[in-house]
Amino acid sequence: MPSPSLLLRALHADITTLDCDAIVNAANSSLLGGGGVDGAIHRAAGPALREACRALNGCRTGEAKLTPGFRLPARYVIHTVGPIWRGGRQDEATLLAACYRNSLELARQHDLRTLAFPCISTGVYGFPAHLATPIALRTVREHGAGFDEITFCCFSTADLRLYEAALAGTK
Ligand code: APR
């Protein structure tokens, strides 16, 4: 059960501007940067982020790894690799849930209390946003104990509407 003090919120923002303990990056398995939110985070954090990621030797889909935030307002970046959507019958839902669960677990190990997620896998990786949103919300509700605030950072208003409806308990 989520802790009574856990605040979940949806925000229409650029995740690189959020001043929280950690922002989550929707990375690829190389962890060496890319487009989308990955590219934005690396641009904002500066070149030291890529060097720190290089030392991590990649990341498997569903796993999560931590680096400092460098020039970002956020103190840390949690890099996770979402599943590529292949029609929904290749464990994509399980792997996406693992991204959220493992990111929360890693944050908890480092005593982080405020966290922001992008809409993992719903861009380049093609995971339908209306299917990803309930997975994200359910996983964070189940594993969000011990956090003060978890933000679903939506880059589009369409995503924001999906999260606001899901948070309000309506489909
Ligand atoms: N802040 C918040 N969210 C953002 C930002 C940003 N600055 N830029 C993009 N997004 C959103 C997208 O609109 C989408 O909703 O992040 C979500 C995830 O989209 P992608 O960044 O394309 O990530 P993903 O679908 O997980 O694909 C990962 O894309 O960038 C490459 O290196 C990355 O290969 C990896 C793949």
Q: What is the DSSP letter of 123?
A: S
Which atom of ligand 1 approaches the CA of 156 most closely? 13
Across the range 22-28, mean pLDDT stands at 98
Note the pLDDT tens digit of each residue in 133-160. 999 999 999 999 999 999 999 999 999 9
Report the separation in Å between the CA atom of 13 and the middle of ligand 1, taken as the mean of its atom positions.
Answer: 13
Report the separation in Å between the CA atom of 81 and the middle of ligand 1, taken as the mean of its atom positions. Answer: 11
90-100 average pLDDT score? 98
The strand pair at 64-68 and 114-117 is best described as unpaired
In a domain, 78, yes or no: yes
Helix, strand, coil proportions of the chain in percent (round to 5)?
40, 20, 45
Q: Quick check: 50 and 22 in contact, CB under 8 A?
A: no
Query: Which CATH number is 43's domain given?
Result: 3.40.220.10
**89 occurs within a structural domain:** yes
Domain membership of residue 128 as a residue range: 26-155
Confidence of residue 6 (pLDDT cuts 50, 70, 90): confident
Domain membership flag for residue 10: no
CB of residue 28 inside a 6 A radius of ligand 1: yes
Q: Check if 119 has its Cβ closer than 6 Å to any atom of ligand 1.
A: yes
Mutate to test the pocket of ligand 1, among 37, 121, 160 (most ligand atoms within 8 A of CB): 37
Check pLDDT > 90 for residue 4: no
Residues whose CB falls within 8 Å of the CB of residue 124, separated by 6 or more in sequence, listed in order: 34, 35, 36
Residue at 17 is within a domain: no
Number of domains in the chain: 1
State the chain's mean pLDDT as an integer.
96
Distance CA 40, CA 36 (A): 6
Whether 65 and 56 have beta carbons less than 8 Å apart is answered as yes
Tell me if 114 is assigned to some domain: yes
6 domain-assigned: no
Element (H, E) at 39: helix 36-45
Task: Encode burial over 128-140: b for 16+ CB neighbours within 10 A, e otherwise.
Answer: ebeebbebbbebb
pLDDT at residue number 8: 96
Give the confidence band of 171 by pLDDT, cuts at 50, 70, 90. Answer: very low
> Which amino acid residue places its CA nearest to atom 10 of ligand 1?
37
Q: Is residue 160 part of a domain?
A: no
Residue 80 included in any domain: yes
